[in-house]
Amino acid sequence: MTIEAYIGFGSNLGDRETTFDKAEKALALLADTTVEKCSSLYETEPQGLTDGGPRFLNAVIAIETRLSPFDLMAKLGNIERELGKSPFHRSYMSRFIDLDLLLYGDEHFQKNGLEIPHPRMHNRAFVLVPLAQIAPHVIHPVLKCSIEMLLSRLPFEHLGRVVPLEKTGGSKVK
C-alpha cells in the first residue's frame, strides 16, 4: 500500500536552487517512492536563526511511498547529509538543506523522536504557502481542517514574507 507524504524543503546557504533539484532527484531515486508534485520555489526571511543567515528557499514535494515513516525519515537524513547538512547542525543555524516530513497520509503519532504531522507546520507560512499550492484540500490529521483553511488563518504579515521565485527550477506542478 502506498502512502501520500509531503516533504518540506529549505535551504539558505550555497546554490539553493541546485540543492533543491538534487534533493528532488534523490527523492525520486528512493526505492518504493515516486515524486508526484513539487510546488514552486519561494524565498522567505529566516525565522529564529541566531547566525544572521540569508533568505531561505522553500518548497514542498509530494511523494507516494511504501516506506514506513521511520524509514523515510532515515532516507531524508541520508539525502541531507549527502547534500551538505552537518551532523552537528542545530535548528537555529543556517543550512545547506533541511528536509522535513510534514504529513504522512492521515497518520498522527509521536514516537522515537518523530512527530507526525510536523508539530509547527500549521504556524509556518513558508510551509503552508507551497503546500497549499499542491495540496490545498488535504486535511491536517490533528486540526481536522484543510491546508487551504490553515493558510487562511495565518496573519497577512506572515504571508507577505513568502515570495515566489520567478524561476521555479525543478517544479513539476500537476
CATH of the domain at 38: 3.30.70.560
Q: How far apart are CA 158 and CA 170, in angstroms?
A: 25
Give 10 or 169, the one with higher predicted confidence.
10
Q: Tell me, what's the pLDDT at 167? A: 58
- Assigned domain for 110 exists: yes
Q: Decide if 174 is inside a domain.
A: no
| Cα–Cα distance measured from residue 117 to residue 141, given in angstroms and rounded to the nearest whole number | 7
pLDDT at 153: 95
Give the residue among 86, 82, 121 at the shortest CA–CA distance from 100. Answer: 121
Is there a domain that residue 169 lies in?
no
DSSP string of 30-96, one letter each residue = STTEEEEEEPPPEEE---S-SS----EEEEEEEEEE-S-HHHHHHHHHHHHHHTT--TT--TTS--S
Mean pLDDT for the chain overall = 92
CB atoms within 10 A of CB 102: 26
58 contacts: CB under 8 Å, gap ≥ 6 = 8, 9, 10, 41, 42, 43, 44, 126, 127, 130, 162
Q: What does DSSP assign to residue 140? A: P
Percent of the residues in the chain that have a pLDDT greater than 70, as a whole number: 95
Instruction: Pick the more confident residue, 24 or 166.
Output: 24
Query: Bridge partners of 130?
Result: none
Taking 70 as the threshold, does the pLDDT of residue 169 lie above it?
Answer: no
* pLDDT tops 50 at residue 91: yes
Query: Is residue 99 one of the residues assigned to a domain?
Result: yes
Assess whether pLDDT exceeds 90 at residue 161. no
Structural domain includes residue 172: no
Structural domain includes residue 173: no
Domain span at 77: 3-164
- Report residue 136's pLDDT band, with 50, 70 and 90 as the boundaries: very high
pLDDT reading at 171 higher than 80: no
Task: Specify if 92 maps to a domain.
Answer: yes
* Confidence band, pLDDT 50/70/90 cuts, at residue 53: confident
Q: Measured in whole angstroms, how far is the alpha carbon of residue 84 from the centre of its chain?
A: 17
H or E stretch covering 25: helix 16-28
What is the pTM (predicted TM-score) of this model?
A: 0.93
174 pLDDT exceeds 50? no
Are 99 and 44 spatial neighbours (Cβ–Cβ below 8 Å)?
no
Residue 27, domain member (yes or no): yes
At residue 95's C-alpha, the angle toward residues 64 and 150, to 5°, is 50
How many domains in the chain? 1
